[in-house]
Structure 1
Amino acid sequence: MADAADTARTPVSPSAIEAGRWILDPAGSTVRVRHKTFWGLATVSGRFTAVNGEGEVLADGSARGSLTIDAASLDTRNPKRDAHLRNADFLDTDHHPEITVAVSGAVPGEGATVAVDGELTVLGRTRPLSFTARLTEATADTATLTADVEIDRTGFGMTWNRLGMMTGAAALTVTARFIRR
């Protein structure tokens, strides 16, 4: 016979996620970034270590919410590179300390997919953002979404590119674990 703790961990269908307020669990969430450099020969990888957010699941099963990333928390395991990424050539964290994702609609799709629409704000510039996330955990008290998103940094004014070393979009992998409030 299952006890109450086992029942709370039993996965439920995405449509069974109850309406209400949810908060991001920073300990169970990550935002990783990768970008090709040195003319595509090397990939710089890092992660933002400070992220928070909240959301609301509506009665129809759709959701909305926000994710806020501390731009200065980017860690690529190279302090000199991190300092450069925080300066005005890239994230300009002195003037723009946060990167935000405002989700206006997240609608369950087929299987464990979720269609997400909203806006991304970087360096004070807001652009539309749409992507498909995967529901990787769904219990009565937790829901975890994972998404791979490509971002064209030049659309936000990050045009530094010495000798054409940086090509293509930055790839972000976001794992957002929400807990029922």
Structure 2
Amino acid sequence: MTVAVETGLWQLDPSASTVALGHRTMWGLVNVKGTFSGVSGRGEVAADGTATGTLTLDVASLDTKNAKRDTHLRSADLFDADNHPEITFVARRAEVRDGGTAQVSGQLTVRGVSRPLSFSARLTGADADALTLDAEFTVDREQFGMGWNQLGMIRGLTTVTTTLRFTRAS
């Protein structure tokens, strides 16, 4: 079964979307979680059913429920928000396949460093006026110049979890 998505322009609904991250620290003993409240995006679905789009995150909006940690995450040691205030993902191609799974490929830019990124997403809702995509994937922060690791406390990959709701652009 192939899921059809309406062609045209789509706008991200930030009030109904979440972008969260999780990373194990303290030598794997603590899972730090955070959410970006500043999220924006848009996309376009072509007549052949493929899609392109852009998702932008405001680095300063990352909230881990710990002000001291959030300040450090925004510092030059990690996200360097003063010099790189946004994280962007440009979807060069997304295609919904059988069963509502979308294969997404594009370019992720963090701290001014761009790397290709591909992952699977689930189309969890679609009608003429709205569509929702859920995805979970991992990112190696060191590939983006985020190698700070005091006493070797931070190891492994960062998990990114998203629920993105798009509505028809007017």
User: Which has the greater radius of gyration?
Assistant: 1
Q: Which residue of 1 aligns with 2:155?
A: 167
Q: Which residue of 2 aligns with 1:9?
A: none
Q: Answer yes or no: is the 8 Å Cα contact 1:112–1:134 preserved in 2.
A: yes
User: Deviations along 1:28-54, whole A, 9 cap, x unmatched?
Assistant: 100011000010011000100110000
The equivalent position to 1:151 in structure 2, one of 123, 139, 143, is: 139
Distance apart, 1:110 and its partner CA: 2.1
TM-score (norm 1): 0.91
For residue 163 of structure 1, give the secondary structure of its aligned residue in structure 2. helix
Q: Which residue of 1 aligns with 2:87?
A: 99
Name the aligned partner's letter for residue 158 of structure 1: M
**1:50 aligned to 2:38?**
yes
- Stretches of structure 2 lacking an aligned partner (at least 5 in a row): none
Pairs within 5 Å for 1:35-74: 35-74=23-62
Q: Answer yes or no: is the 8 Å Cα contact 1:15–1:61 preserved in 2.
A: no
Compared CA separation, residues 126 and 53, structure 1 to 2 (3 A): same
Q: Which residue of 1 aligns with 2:112?
A: 124
Distance apart, 1:14 and its partner CA: 6.3
Name the aligned partner's letter for residue 117 of structure 2: L
**1:78 aligned to 2:66?**
yes
- Stretches of structure 1 lacking an aligned partner (at least 5 in a row): 1-12
**1:140 aligned to 2:128?**
yes
Looking at secondary structure, tell me which structure has more helix per residue.
1
Q: Answer yes or no: is the 8 Å Cα contact 1:14–1:138 preserved in 2.
A: no
Q: How many residues are treated as equivalent by the alignment?
A: 169
How far apart are the structure 1 equivalents of 2:158 and 2:31? 10
How far apart are the structure 2 equivalents of 1:16 and 1:41? 43
Name the aligned partner's letter for residue 33 of structure 1: L
> Considering only aligned residues, what root-mean-square deviation do their CA atoms show, in Å?
1.0
How far apart are the structure 2 equivalents of 1:157 and 1:49? 23
How far apart are the structure 1 equivalents of 2:3 and 2:33? 35
User: Deviations along 1:110-134, whole A, 9 cap, x unmatched?
Assistant: 2010000000000000000000000
